[in-house]
Amino acid sequence: MFPKSLPGRIGFGVTLLALLAAVALFTWQRLGGGGQEAIGEAAIGGPFELVDHTGKPVTDQDFRGRYMLIYFGFTYCPDVCPTSLATMARGLEALDERAPEKAAAVTPIFITVDPERDDVEAMAGYVEHFHDRMIGLTGSLAQTTAAAKEYRVYFSKVVEEGAEGAQDYLMDHSSFIYLMGPDGRYVTHFSHQSTVEEVAEGLEKRVQP
């Protein structure tokens, strides 16, 4: 679809540049550039209807009065998800040593973006590796997609050609650890590169049980 005439090429180039500039600006704003962080963050979080790792239906309302430390990912994730969940769990443990009443007010939650493979059983076997109070949430694809959308979490399936033509896939996804307050509203977030100490310190500062 590359135009052959010179004016056509210039026009094509200008359109492409304008498009790239728009994407860059959008990304910059999403990442909190230009001091707009507060506006973007205010929109994070919302209602969800999912199923926990014991098979019990849960909604966001079930967590009112408690802080939720939420991470979206999938159990087949080779690196980023386990690292993030471990940081989340170790951070909460570190907080527990300093301020047990604060740690007790926080529920660590892992929500899958891959419900096709992450059923209740898979979630149960997974979350127990990280923290004894961690809650794994799954549901129908429509339910987990709706939850991810409320939290502005991006995800997409990346299909890979495996051995002998077998198809395998990974989920590409954004990777933030959200701290939500007792009223269900956004408080702060950590990145998957945050350290255990940063998580512990951030929670100690923000959690007021």
* Contact pick of 60, 67, 71, 73 for Ni ion (by CB under 5 A): 73
* Contact pick of 16, 31, 80, 141 for Ni ion (by CB under 5 A): 80
Give the interface size with Ni ion as a residue count (CB under 5 A): 4
Rounded distance between C-alpha atoms, residue 47 and residue 60, angstroms = 6
Rounded distance between C-alpha atoms, residue 102 and residue 91, angstroms = 12
Is residue 81 near Ni ion by the rule CB under 5 A?
yes
Q: Which residue is nearest to Ni ion (CB)?
A: 77
Cβ distance to Ni ion smaller for residue 81 or 180 = 81
Segment near Ni ion (CB under 5 A); pick from 13-21, 57-65, 71-79, 182-190: 71-79
The position carrying tokens 């135009």 is 3
Is residue 77 near Ni ion by the rule CB under 5 A?
yes
Q: CB 191 → Ni ion: shortest distance, Å? A: 13
Cβ distance to Ni ion smaller for residue 70 or 207 = 70
Q: CB 105 → Ni ion: shortest distance, Å? A: 27
Cβ distance to Ni ion smaller for residue 95 or 190 = 190
Report how far Cα 152 is from the mean position of its chain's Cα atoms. Answer: 8
Cβ distance to Ni ion smaller for residue 82 or 184 = 82
191-199 contacts: CB < 8 A, separation 24 or more?
192/80, 192/83, 192/84, 192/87, 194/87, 194/91, 195/87, 196/87, 196/90, 196/91, 196/94, 197/91, 197/94, 198/91, 199/87, 199/88, 199/90, 199/91, 199/92, 199/94
Residue-level length of the chain:
209
The residues that touch Ni ion, with contacts defined as CB under 5 A, are 73, 77, 80-81
